[in-house]
Amino acid sequence: MPMSYPSLLQTLSTPLLKSVAPLLFGVLCGLLADTVQAQSPAKILIVNSDATVNKYRQVKEAFTLQIGTYAGRIINFDVQQSGHPELLEKLIKDESPDLIYSIGSQAYQLASQFGGSKPVLFSSVINWQRFERRDNSYGIANELSLTQELSLLRFLLPGLPRIGVIYDPHFSAERINEARAQAKELGLVLVEQTVDDEHPLAQHLDSLLDKIDILWLIADPGVLADRVTVETIFSYSSRHKKPVYTYSDAFMNYGASLVVAADTPTMGRQAANMAQAILLREPLKETVQSPAGSHITLNACQLGKLDTRYNADALDAVNQLLECH
Amino acid sequence: MMIKYPTIFRQWRAWISVVLWALLSIPIAPAGTPETVFFYNPESSVDNFAALKAEFDDYLSKQGAYSFQPFSERNTFEVMLAGKPQGVYLLSSWHYLQLNAKTPLEAKLVGTAKGEPQQRKILTAKDIDNIPALAGATIAGAGSEDYLRSQLQQMLGASYAALMPKIKLLSVPKDIDALMAVSFGMASAALSSENSLNKLALINPKQHAQLKTLASGEKSFLLIAAVAKPSQSDAQPLLKIIETMQQQPDGEKNLKMLGLDGWKRIDALDTSLVKQLRLP
């Protein structure tokens, strides 16, 4: 004869379980509520400084694709197109989004101004450190860290151990300290030259370029003050037959040999992962992350003219290869 | 009654006719002639299609009326392939095996790196010591999300199936980005090839020493050069040009852009290896 098991009702009717049932029910409801809260689709407001800017468009597309179904609803606000940035304040009040993702400096400033207690996430903000940050502010930096830049330089041009760098201590002292430690790890020597009001750049360029294998032009507003300064740096480097390594494709026209910048779509994907972590209240190692992807332009033509070899095994990592055609 | 056009207009008409005739007379090769090399690789996210097109077109045009057509979108590549255009297809072995089920292809060559036709994917981490600790973690890797997820599933096996939805994937352009993302704290673990981990050891031995291997996958082939089935005899000259690329400096450089340093003929591989490219 098959054994008969007690039904759930019978089990619950035992005196012991009768007494603990309300407690169990409460715990179960609590767990369910937490799960629902954690998994319910979020409402995200994307504030874009100008949707017609290609880089902003790319980063937004990547964000939207990566966040996927986690975002139940995405509301868009284009600062440029709206013509009335103050409309954002009303939109935030009306919609009460769970998170505001701001793309570009203008969007970030407005989101911070009108966002109240909502978490504000940013990307594509040039030199984000210049803005005041609140506790509910998170982001993906627009520039690779100097340590990343140095590692990729070592990867692409391994035969150039003496790296010259010009910086203004008011802007870059801390970053250069990190870079110095990283250079040591990579077996590189950082030959540093500081500039300030009393010691203008041209005074030092000849002596610096004599001591180095490559000039590393970092994003330092104290150094790259104007177009004339940039032209002076490239003109001296060319005269000394030294390649220039830098962070933006804008310098290709001046004759940069290697440019390593942040990869735009990766920033959007990183922002989406960070948004998810913020909404799930997961612990974050860093509230502002460096970009995880790189975009590399190698000017093989210029390197050839300077008789400088590059690492051919790194060619599959190069996005743009400029040859002398 | 005949309409009389001014002389100048009659001259224009004549010129337009000449130009149209000249345009129509230009021999335009239909898309997908055996002179085209089609390329799509979901194992890399490096947006270098313009560079690849320029370099390969330059190299191939010196060998004959050949051209190179890279694809950034999987769907577009597969739609094109479904039309069975004539040519040689360069694609990842993972994609080749998936495609073969619906669009019969025949692998002819396999790419090599450091002389090896296969590579192994590995999962490395810095501050994570075991697989269960990956719950909630971000894993960075190069390639499409589909590809990364399938590699991870294969690596972790059925016993960790419940872990997969708890992992966040971050697609980055290349392996070295994924490995550096772990070193610099943007990701908890990296999915990369063993070859790339070896490259990191050359760039930064200290960072390399900090990474631990949590899991590794089965070896898989590098890039495959295939033709549509039934095999086209007229694709042989183009296959020969691809096979001998490493013998010329420009060809060698272009191979490096694909992460390769040579090709091996499929029929020259061990039978046990060739079996991996056949459908069950």
Q: What is the pLDDT of residues B193-227, one digit of tens each?
A: 999 999 999 999 999 999 999 999 999 999 999 99
* Mutation target vs B (from A69, A284, A316, A325; most B CBs, 10 A cutoff): A316
Q: Does A136 contact chain B (CB < 8 Å)?
A: no
**φ/ψ of residue A43, rounded to 5:** -105, 120
> Domain range for residue B160?
119-220
Domains belonging to chain A, first-starting first, are 39-142+266-289 (3.40.50.2300), 146-262+294-322 (3.40.50.2300)
Residues B106 and B125 in one domain: no
- Residues of chain B with Cβ-Cβ distance to A293 below 8 Å are 45, 172-173, 177
* Residues A270, B186: C-beta atoms closer than 8 Å: yes
Residues B43 and B101 in one domain: yes
CATH number at residue B165: 3.40.190.10
Three-state secondary structure readout of chain A = CCCCCCCHHHHHCCHHHHHHHHHHHHHHHHHHHHHHHHHCCEEEEEEECCCCCHHHHHHHHHHHHHHHHHEEEEEEEEHHHHCCCCHHHHHHHHHCCCEEEEECHHHHHHHHHHCCCCCEEEECCCCHHHCCCCCCEEEECCCCCHHHHHHHHHHHCCCCCEEEEEECHHHHHHHHHHHHHHHHHCCCEEEEEECCCCCCCHHHHHHHHHHCCEEEECCCCCCCCCHHHHHHHHHHHHHCCCCEEECCHHHHHHCCCEEEEECHHHHHHHHHHHHHHHHCCCCCCCCEECCCCEEEEEEHHHHHHCCCCCCHHHHHHCCEEECCC
* Residues A321, B55: C-beta atoms closer than 8 Å: yes
Q: Is residue B194 part of a domain?
A: yes
- Residues of chain B with Cβ-Cβ distance to A316 below 8 Å are 44, 46, 174, 256-259
Please state the rounded mean pLDDT for residues B76-80.
Answer: 92
Burial A186-217 (b: 16+ CB within 10 A, else e): bebebbebbbeeeeebeebbeebbeebbbbbb
Provide the pLDDT confidence category of residue B84 given band limits of 50, 70 and 90: confident
% of chain A residues with pLDDT over 90: 74
Nearest to B259 among A266, A292, A316 (CB): A316
Residues B142 and B259 in one domain: no
Q: Which helix (H) or strand (E) holds B98?
A: helix B93-100
Rounded CA gap, B246 and B161, in Å? 42
Nearest to A292 among B50, B187, B204 (CB): B187
What order do you get walking across the sheet with A214-217 strand by strand? A189-194, A162-167, A214-217, A244-246, A258-262, A294-299, A320-322
Report the residue of chain A nearest B140, measured CA to CA.
Answer: A292
Rounded CA gap, A37 and A279, in Å? 10
State yes or no: pLDDT of A3 exceeds 90.
Answer: no
Angle at alpha carbon of residue B56, lines to B50 and B57, rounded to 5°: 85
Rg (CA), chain B: 24
Instruction: Name residues whose C-beta falls within 8 Å of residue B216's C-beta, 6 or more positions apart in sequence.
Output: B120, B121, B122, B123, B155, B194
CA B126, B129, B132, B133 torsion-angle sign: negative
CA B213, B217, B220, B222 torsion-angle sign: negative
Residues B55 and B96 in one domain: yes
- Of B220, B244, B267, which closes a domain? B220
Residues B186 and B200 in one domain: yes
Residues B53 and B94 in one domain: yes
Provide the pLDDT confidence category of residue B147 given band limits of 50, 70 and 90: very high
- Of B173, B197, B220, which closes a domain? B220
Instruction: Name residues whose C-beta falls within 8 Å of residue A238's C-beta, 6 or more positions apart in sequence.
Output: A255
Residues B84 and B137 in one domain: no
* Residues B199, A155: C-beta atoms closer than 8 Å: yes
Q: Is residue B25 part of a domain?
A: no
Provide the pLDDT confidence category of residue B22 given band limits of 50, 70 and 90: very low
* Residues B186, A154: C-beta atoms closer than 8 Å: no
Rounded CA gap, B219 and B151, in Å? 11
% of chain B residues with pLDDT over 90: 72
- Residues of chain A with Cβ-Cβ distance to B253 below 8 Å are 312, 315
Rounded CA gap, A317 and B139, in Å? 19
Report ipTM for this prediction.
0.84
Report the residue of chain B nearest A139, measured CA to CA.
Answer: B186
Strands B118-125 and A71-78 turn out to be unpaired
Q: Is residue B60 part of a domain?
A: yes
Residues B213 and B240 in one domain: no
Q: Is residue B72 part of a domain?
A: yes
Q: Does B181 contact chain A (CB < 8 Å)?
A: yes
- Residues of chain B with Cβ-Cβ distance to A286 below 8 Å are 185
* Residues A318, B46: C-beta atoms closer than 8 Å: yes
Residues B209 and B126 in one domain: yes
Q: How many Cβ contacts (< 8 angstroms) between chains A and B?
A: 106
* Mutation target vs A (from B90, B203, B211; most A CBs, 10 A cutoff): B203
Q: Does A293 contact chain B (CB < 8 Å)?
A: yes
Rounded CA gap, B46 and B44, in Å? 6
- How close B28 comes to chain A (CA, Å)? 25
Residues B65 and B195 in one domain: no
Q: How many CA atoms lie within 13 A of B102 on its CB side?
A: 8
* Residues A316, B174: C-beta atoms closer than 8 Å: yes
Distances in Å between the Cα of A149 and the Cα atoms of A156, A188, A295, B129 are 11, 13, 11, 28
Burial B111-134 (b: 16+ CB within 10 A, else e): bbbeebbbbebbbbbbebeebeeb
Nearest to B204 among A186, A282, A321 (CB): A186
* Residues B173, A152: C-beta atoms closer than 8 Å: no
Rounded CA gap, A108 and A226, in Å? 26
- How close B265 comes to chain A (CA, Å)? 22
Rounded CA gap, B15 and A46, in Å? 55
* Residues B170, A186: C-beta atoms closer than 8 Å: no
Return the amino acid letter for A160.
L
pLDDT value at residue A200 = 74
Residues B197 and B236 in one domain: no
pLDDT value at residue B37 = 95
State yes or no: pLDDT of A258 exceeds 50.
Answer: yes
Strands A99-103 and A71-78 turn out to be unpaired
Q: Is residue B31 part of a domain?
A: no
Per the structure, the count of domains in chain B is 2
Please state the rounded mean pLDDT for residues A26-30.
Answer: 44
* Residues A266, B170: C-beta atoms closer than 8 Å: yes
- Of B201, B220, B239, which closes a domain? B220
Listed residue (B143, B45, B262) closest to A317, CA to CA: B45
Distances in Å between the Cα of B25 and the Cα atoms of B19, B33, B35, B61 are 10, 19, 20, 21
* Residues B168, A273: C-beta atoms closer than 8 Å: yes
Q: Poorest-confidence range of A104-108, B13-17, B141-145, B243-247?
A: B13-17
State yes or no: pLDDT of A37 exceeds 80.
Answer: no
pLDDT value at residue B279 = 55
* Residues A266, B204: C-beta atoms closer than 8 Å: no
- How close A297 comes to chain B (CA, Å)? 10
Q: Is residue B63 part of a domain?
A: yes
pLDDT value at residue A153 = 97
Q: Is residue B17 part of a domain?
A: no
For residue range A105-142, list pLDDT tens digits in order. Answer: 999 999 999 999 999 999 999 889 889 889 999 999 99
Provide the pLDDT confidence category of residue B6 given band limits of 50, 70 and 90: low
Residues B54 and B178 in one domain: no
Provide the pLDDT confidence category of residue A11 given band limits of 50, 70 and 90: very low
* Mutation target vs A (from B43, B45, B46; most A CBs, 10 A cutoff): B46
Q: Does B36 contact chain A (CB < 8 Å)?
A: no
For residue range A177-211, list pLDDT tens digits in order. Answer: 999 999 999 999 999 999 877 777 878 899 999 99
